[in-house]
Structure 1
Amino acid sequence: MDKFKIIGKTRIAGEVAISGSKNAALPLLAGMLLPNDETVLHNVPTLKDTDTLIKLIAGMGVAIKKEGNTVIADARHVANYYAPYELVRTMRASILVLGALLGRFGEAEVSLPGGCSIGSRPVDQHLKAFEAMGASISVENGYVKAKAPAGGRLIGCDFTFDMVTVGGTENVIMAASLARGTTRLENCACEPEVVDLANMLVAMGAKIDGIGTPTMIIEGVESLHGCEYSVIADRIETGSYLAGALMSEGDVLTTNTSAELLHPVLKKFEAMGATITTGDDWIRAVMTGRPKAVDIRTQVHPGFPTDMQAQLMAVCCLADGTSTIIENIFENRFMHVPELNRMGANIRIDGHTAIVTGVDSFMPAPVMATDLRASMSLVMAAACADGESIIDRIYHIDRGYDNVESKLKSLGVNIERIKG
């Protein structure tokens, strides 16, 4: 199992180009199953998760290839509607092929997903919506088996999600795009990644109103055609590298990105004392002193994103004062806390609340990554610690950060991958 060896103490500074969004690319890749045509998708990051989904789609008989950061898929000939456990178990986003397959072909058999251990992320909202659209659903031996009603097409309906769910919203709008009639969805997720998928579906010929709002109305069409589309910038990768500047009195310029995607995070950075400047496709964070303590509540978009909670906690560990961080999205997303405490942080957990009392510096230590975003918080903490740290189980970071070592080195981090 690979590890990172990081030698601090680094002032994190320099320029880094941001890749396409992992959380947007995965549903967009699943959406390439929908048209009876060729689709070209640009700005796809090179990650374990994107590679896995491409393998999954190829296993269904789709002619799909990745050339650099471009994926070309021809879904005219799909041989099966089956997503096996061997691939799906490695990431939760694999469940998104369910909506695409069910919408276009009227049937699907998809393994229940795996992924990071950050708490329960049930797919019941996906399945309830499909049942409301007339599908018969059963779960057998760990597989979801879904079949559209007689005639092979789902039927439009009115459906309200019991909770805001990004994956559920994405899955259902894909299926509804090819349903018979009109589907009205309430309490939809409004994240930029959901908007990106809806925009690609419209480019394929889907009819969707209310994109970016909690109410979306999808008028089903007979078929979708291929298109050429580009994945939005990764707002979480952007925020992660900018956070390094705050932790190290650094100066980080992120390019190929958008401040529009990151407003709540940038506001917190400014509250902590950073100077934030932005342009059409860049964001710069400059820090000249110790961060100030802030309070954070993770919320669904447009609130503070849960995927930036661990990175902001690492900044708060070095802040002047005491910060309170409340995690409202996942019930088990403080697993990085013991690891940060091993590095000298002062964090106390009380239910869904973390009380972080700032310390002067991190100490080097051997630590273990527990999930995708937590792994980056540990990397940044190690870069700021005075000495050598070893970070184990870095397969997590490979799932979500494209070309991470090269990018960190460009920011001055002394990092080496140790092959396991």
Structure 2
Amino acid sequence: MPRLLLVRHAQSKNNLSNARIREELRDDPERMHAEAARAREPDPDLSELGRAQAERVAEHLAPILSEPRSLLVSSPMRRALQTATPIAARVGLERFVCEAGLFEVGGCHYCGELRPSATAAALEAEFPVRCGAMDPEGWYAGHGGAETSDEARARVERAIAWAEATLAAGTHETVVVIAHGDLLSRWLRRWLHVPWQRGLAFVHGNTGITTLSWDRREGLLLEGFNSLTHLPPKLRSGADAEFWWRYAWPDLELSRYESWAAIPGELAVELAELRARHLLEPEGKSLADYATSDARSVHLVALAEGELAGYVQYDPELGRLRQLVVGPRHRRSRLGRRLVGAVEDEARRDGRDELLVHAWVDSVGFYAALGFVARGAVESGAPVAWQAMVKQGLSRTC
């Protein structure tokens, strides 16, 4: 029976730095995620441990791929290609397939900026690959920014259609795909008919292998998940066989409004209540006190599964972040960091190199972890003391 093996890449340098930061800052989630984002490389190489993992998975997969009618396919990102290359070497393949559509969810977009992606010519010069259809400017060319959830969903559908068509054609008995954790999780959610709005993720360890078989009547059938038997315990990272799923934060929809008056009626009522409860009442103020800034500010509203999750303003006149609030059910979900990032994007588009915020004193640590620096002394205004903070260098890459 034809089969499809989905393999997460070996440990990358980003995976390694993320693991270190999680260990050091596990009690401060917001700072942990901010530091991880700051340490992230756009398209990292494998770590030393990752190279050892790649050799082990190559040894394990070589007999499988040595069978007739086998196919090795990789994502165009370096960590996947560096995982696939030792496999190809052990099997004796002159070239394996590089498929542009297998990149990790989000694409080549970091710190609010679109980064260049490698071209087919560059990849074929560095790795023993044969690239499939790819934009001449690079595998992520043509995208205007970070990949959206809808775009990722459509790409997963195309990947599934490709896999099913490849196996149904009967040309290949075994197809091995080297890809990425979030992408593979979304593939499995789709195959197992988990609704997209459910926050369920399937976690692969580095070089974890998921096996699916192909039946002409039933389609793809899950036979095994995240097998790491090829790695001794000391070489395992990412997730072990016992930790194979987790609840993921649901996909968020971020809407942008040019003024408070532009926000639809029912949503405006919900927002007014959220702001009053968590921002205005502690300050001893009302919505009327913010009428002027509300009228000139850009309003960013986050919805999770149709539920109001968070809100923030960007004041273009002052280059200032205002009124950041995250609903109680959505705290510790990185939403605050995402909303700050959205305001930073607004400031960049506005041509600004710095962003101002008046942070309540109990949120100074949150903003400091995101790169904001205190300016001046704490203002001990009643009833809430606040600290002016500035983040500079918005126009630079990170």
TM-score strictly above 0.5? no
> Higher relative contact order at CA 8 Å, sep ≥6: structure 1 or structure 2?
1
Normalised by the size of structure 2, how large is the TM-score? 0.30
Q: Which TM-score applies when normalising by structure 1?
A: 0.29
